[in-house]
Amino acid sequence: MKNKTFLITGVSSGLGKAFAEGALGAGHTVIGTVRKPEAAGAFEALAPGRAHAVILDVTRFDAVVSTASEIARKHGAIDVLVNNAGYGQEGILEESSMDDLRRQFETNVFAPVAMIKAVLPGMRERRSGRIVNVTSMGGFITLPGISYYCGSKFALEGISEALGKEVRPLGIFVTALAPGQFRTDWAGRSMERAPRTISDYDAIMDPIRTARQTKNGNQPGDPAKAAQALLALVESESPPTRLFLGGDALKLVGDKIESMKTEIATWQKTSLSTDFA
């Protein structure tokens, strides 16, 4: 694959770090966003001259625009945008605040869109580019206790799919990259957890929260292998609209598809009854 310039958000840990390391290992140039100055030096040390850190809070949308302009001035065209930065909000919906919801969507939905809008004009002018939005299997299947997170990833999935139809005629590909459970800090220090306040939800939420904390650090997904999947995706001449990563994701997605087929068939008569005769 021809050497490309990647812009990856959130490269200081987790999948973002693995994606950056994989791209750098393949000889590409990576501009990576970090939130803290100390993380910038550590990232650039991975590949001096090809790893370039940018300090950016992706939820500061005005700063996203100016930062993208500065990146273009310093490093030229962005070939691949990977919207990776995000986090999980765990909590029963009734126990979670509207501020929790706002922060979740600002980071997981609004920030990726802001990055896309900042980078897309250049891709459009060049009639080439790849946009990879890191969603989640939780953008297709749902689990109790992460309703805000699933909602944000469903939103990003929908935006990704519609955007892909808008820009494909312009030579730009958009893929939603949907991981299952990977061995990162997503379920650990990176996750925000709403306090428990309503005992009616104890039976459903307490075992879920305990199991997630217990399993943290033992998830089946390997971030380094996810990075290789990303590189294969970027190299493909016909990348998919969405790519699920991990056997757990494929199993849960497959189960949901079958459930949806059954439910649609069961309610088909009612669905069809709403058309004009």
Radius of gyration of the chain measured on its C-alpha atoms: 20
CA 141 – CA 143 distance, rounded (Å): 7
Laid out side by side, the sheet with 172-179 consists of 51-55, 29-34, 5-8, 80-83, 129-134, 172-179, 242-245
CA trace torsion 51, 52, 55, 61 (10° rounding): -110
CA 143 – CA 149 distance, rounded (Å): 10
What's phi and psi for 31, nearest 5 deg? -95, 120
Length of the chain: 277
Residue with tokens 């050497």: 3
How many other CB atoms are there within 10 angstroms of residue 195's CB atom?
8
Is the Cβ–Cβ distance between 197 and 153 less than 8 Å?
no
Burial class (CB in 10 A: 0-12, 13-18, 19+), 57: middle
What burial letters (b/e) apply to 241-268, b meaning 16+ CB within 10 Å?
ebbbbbebbeebbeeeeeeeeeeeeeee
Exactly one of 87, 148, 149, 201 is catalytic; which is it? 149
Interior angle at CA 175, CA 174 and CA 176, nearest 5: 130
Residue with tokens 């428990």: 196
Q: 149 catalytic, yes or no?
A: yes
SS3 49: coil
Catalytic residues: 149
